[in-house]
Structure 1
């Protein structure tokens, strides 16, 4: 009888990542609001660059994304050695975890937050320490600081928080950084920063000069509409950035991804006008949900949170039957991406029956 291959015991405790479901299809129109994707395609100027970027796919890309790194450093007022590109912000987060954590170490993060956090942490062999959100679906940063022990190597802050929506405020982030030991790396995950309109919300890059243990994550997947190309980046102290480059998968960011990211930066004004359209639609969607009885936490990303509790599976099924898919978290709620007005109108009409008190 053959012996089964010996695999790491830690893998058995890692939850599987469940991607947002695509609509099953039916007689009427269908909409995918389950993955926080930008509902609009890349701009024509970006598509034109992509059309010409495939002529060199027989060659390896620039391993360190030199041109993109230089451009991002200029954009954020940093030195190129402080910028590290990777396969989306979650790919760069994996590099951070690998650079900081070993078996038995601890990583503190809010919960519920981005569902990839316990997966990336678990793969390293570290233990995730989950700190509950406040009643208004926000990070409880004092409680997170209090959860730090001598085993803590990393603390993760998601702003705006995925999937609930509110952003962390600058003053409370400064207080957290002051409370956390300087040898603990603090990650500020700003995957949705372009959608933030809260005037008190934290902005990561200006904090880097005073906090060498801070790492800021950004991505081109959401606002820039390049989710399929997998390109994100970290901003960090040079010592930390060097460690991230050491843990990177060689040639991780493809040539077309680098070219599209640069072209998106060239067209940033036009792209951010689209973002503003989505922000306005987000406000309309939140107001429409309130009109039918939902109390939606303040959304600062490109999604809204419906705290449906035990009725979540029923709500998700009803949405799918109506032709709109959302991301359900059984027993807690559903995250619904902001889509086109037609998609959002269908969403509101479907979830009205599940509003609290109905």
Structure 2
């Protein structure tokens, strides 16, 4: 006897986590913070350990209030989830159903097409332009009467490119107001262009914009899974209906609030990551690899047919990166020691050529 299987799931690949690293190697495959948790955040979490026999506040009221105050918005417009990926799923389920279309650039965040298919909707992937950035004109032309949502990953994962504030404004203004435009800013803290913070400003000026942020990257809370969205009221209300109950733990909510109180300290760490990111990109270019200038906490190398060669080279040097077969390699910006290891690996390669 064969158990029933939901039709369509055969087209949904399981999400592939960045490869783990053996002892002594540099794990640069998952865009994690290279820094350990802040002492103040650890202390706040430790203070809550005695209450883990209780359910968390499902509404995350204290965290939502803190975020609402930070961005000067109504707390009812703020929703939380287990990282921005869960919030992306909430938004898709909130606005799209069977046969509807959800658009995104490609290549972009790997989970987008799967999340759309799981919701029963149709993923519409619009190729990036020659500069590995969003082709907004093509994304505008791809809108149909069935389009319900459009994701703009900015900075884009895995290419690190950004849509400028002016380009984003033009695009959002041109998209019909019955289509939700989701500005996914998971990597916004590493952006040093004028697009930094553009999502929130667009949300204030346009009625069909939602913004995604996460505590996983810049805040270093990847292991606790917490992020948030700011969305129009009717969308936020529907997000809460489709959210997994108690999906954000009390410890995660506590750590997020403590992190918001430590942003000056975190800013120093973020700047260190940015410096090492730019150094990493320069090292790769100097070694002959076509690394793309990035505004995220990683660097994209569109190595094409040489992707496996670069992945193997890094692996031999003790560096674990994220390879997309036949397309390229994404290398996270790590600590100074991590990037030193990349540099030594590239030098060894040059010495053997």
Q: If the length of structure 1 is used for normalisation, what is the TM-score?
A: 0.95
C-alpha distance in 2, partners of 1:353/1:322?
9
Change (3 A) 1:203 1:233: same
Cα deviation code 1:297-317 (max 9, x no counterpart): 221010001111112122212
Distance in 2 (CA, whole Å) between partners of 1:200 and 1:21 is: 31
Q: What displacement does 1:112 show? A: 0.4
Please say if 1:64 is aligned against 2:59.
yes
Q: Which moved more, 1:308-317 or 1:346-355?
A: 346-355
Q: 2:118 aligns with which of 123, 141, 144?
A: 123
- Of the three residues 238, 261, 270, the one matched with 1:266 is 261
| Aligned position for 1:15 | 13
**Among 139, 164, 173, which residue is 2:168 paired with?**
173
- Residues 1:299 and 2:277 are matched in the alignment: no
CA distance in 1, matches of 2:60, 2:112: 25
- The 5 Å alignment of 1:206-355 reads 206-351=201-346
Q: Deviations over 1:233-260 (max 9, x none)?
A: 0001111111111111111110000000
Q: What is the Cα deviation at residue 352 of structure 1?
A: 6.3
Query: By how many angstroms is 1:276 displaced?
Result: 0.9
Cα deviation, residue 16, structure 1: 2.0
Cα 1:202–1:267 change in 2 (3 A) is closer
Deviations 1:167-216 (A, max 9, x none): 11111111111221111111100001111101355621111122121110
| Contact 1:21–1:34 (CA under 8 A) maintained in structure 2 | yes
SS in 2 for 1:335: strand
Per the alignment, residue 142 of structure 1 pairs with 137
Under a length normalisation based on structure 2, what TM-score does the superposition of the two structures give? Answer: 0.96
Distance 1:306 1:236 in 2: 33
| Structure 1 residues 12 and 287: alpha-carbon distance in aligned structure 2, compared to 1, 3 A threshold | same
Please state if 1:186 is matched with 2:181: yes
Q: Equivalents in 2 of 1:21, 1:100: separation in Å? A: 33
Any stretches of 5+ residues in structure 1 without a counterpart? none
Contact 1:168–1:201 under 8 Å retained in 2: no
Alpha carbons of structure 1 residues 52 and 354: separation in structure 2 relative to 1, 3 Å: same
For 2:349 and 2:60, how far apart are their aligned partners in 1? 47
Cα distance, 1:343 vs. partner? Answer: 1.3
Instruction: Determine which of 157, 162, 170 is the counterpart of 1:162.
Output: 157
CA contact (8 A) 2:289 2:303 kept: no
SS in structure 1 at match of 2:178: coil
1:19-98 matched pairs, under 5 angstroms: 19-25=17-23, 29-98=24-93
State how many pairs are aligned: 351
How far is 1:24 from its partner? Answer: 3.1
Give 3-state SS (helix, strand or coil) of 2:213's partner. Answer: strand
What is the CA–CA distance in structure 2 between the aligned matches of 1:258 and 1:314, rounded to whole Å? 42
Match of residue 132 from structure 1? 127
CA contact (8 A) 1:293 1:352 kept: no
1:93 is paired with a residue whose SS is: helix
* Structure 1 contact 15–118 (Cα < 8 Å) conserved: no
Helix, strand or coil for the counterpart of 1:328? strand
Q: Indicate the SS of the match to 2:53.
A: coil
CA contact (8 A) 2:311 2:329 kept: yes
Give deviations 1:19-49, integer Å, cap 9, x for gaps. 0011234xxx311000000000111010111
C-alpha distance in 1, partners of 2:187/2:52? Answer: 30
RMSD of Structure 2 on Structure 1 (CA): 1.5
1:228 partner SS: coil
